[in-house]
Amino acid sequence: MKYLLFILVFCCSSCAKQVYLFTSFHEPANEGLRFLYSTDGYKWKDLGHTYLKPEAGAQKVMRDPSIAQGPDGVYHLVWTSSWKGDKGFAYASSKDLLHWSPQKMINVMEHEPETVNVWAPEIFYDDSEKQFIIIWASTIPNRFPRGTEEEKNNHRMYYTLTKDFEHFSKAKLFLDPGFSVIDAVIVKDEADYVLVLKDNTRANRNLKVGFSTDLTGPYTNISAPFSGKLTEGPSVVKVGKNWLIYYDAYGEKRYAAYRTADFKSFSDISSEIDVPAGHKHGTIFKSSKSILKGLQQEALSIKNVRQ
Sign of CA dihedral 261, 248, 206, 158: negative
10 CB-side CA count, 13 A:
6
Q: How many CB atoms are located within 10 Å of the residue 101 CB?
A: 14
DSSP per-residue letters across 14-79 = HHHTEEEEEEEB-TT--S--EEEEESSSSB-EE----------SSS---EEEEEEE-TTS-EEEEE
- The CATH code that applies to domain 21-306 is 2.115.10.20
Question: Dihedral sign, CA of 253, 68, 226, 224?
Answer: positive
Question: How large is the average pLDDT for residues 17-26?
Answer: 95
Residue 161 has pLDDT above 90, yes or no: yes
Report pLDDT for 14.
43
Q: Kindly list the distances between the CA atom of residue 8 and the CA atoms of 5, 162, 242, 281, 287, in Å, as whole numbers in the listed order.
A: 5, 37, 22, 35, 21
What integer pLDDT is reported at residue 147 of this predicted model? 83
Q: What is the pLDDT of residue 94?
A: 98
Phi and psi torsions of 153, nearest 5°: -135, 20
Provide the residue ranges of all domains of the chain, joining segments of one domain with +: 21-306
pTM of the model: 0.93
Question: Nearest-CA neighbor of 256 among 232, 286, 284?
Answer: 232
Reported as half-sphere exposure (CB side, CA atoms, 13 A), residue 249 has a value of 15
Task: Output the pLDDT for position 117.
Answer: 98
In percent, the amount of the chain with pLDDT more than 70 equals: 93
* Residue-averaged pLDDT of the chain: 93
Q: Is 98 helix (H, G, I), strand (E, B) or coil?
A: coil
Q: What is the pLDDT of residues 200-239, one digit of tens each?
A: 999 999 999 999 999 999 999 999 999 999 999 999 999 9
Which strands sit side by side in the sheet containing 172-175, from one edge to the other? 119-126, 131-138, 156-162, 172-175
Give the pairing of strands 172-175 and 181-189: unpaired
pLDDT by residue (tens digit) across 231-288?
A: 999 999 999 999 999 999 999 999 999 999 999 999 999 999 999 999 999 999 999 9
DSSP state letter for 96: S
Residue 7 pLDDT more than 60? no
* pLDDT category of residue 146 using cuts at 50, 70 and 90: confident
Q: Give the helix ranges, DSSP H, for 110-230.
A: none
Which of 88-97, 141-150, 156-165, 226-235 shows the lowest mean pLDDT across its residues? 141-150
- Predicted confidence at residue 190, as pLDDT, reads 87
* pLDDT of 13 over the 50 cut: no
The H-assigned helical ranges of the chain are 2-16, 289-306
Asked if residue 2 has pLDDT above 90, the reply is: no
**pLDDT above 70 for 15:** no
Q: Which of 78, 58, 75 is nearest to 168 (CA)?
A: 78
Of 14-28, 75-89, 191-205, which range is least confident?
14-28
- pLDDT-based confidence at residue 305 (cuts at 50, 70, 90): low
Q: How confident is the model at residue 306 (pLDDT cuts 50, 70, 90)?
A: low
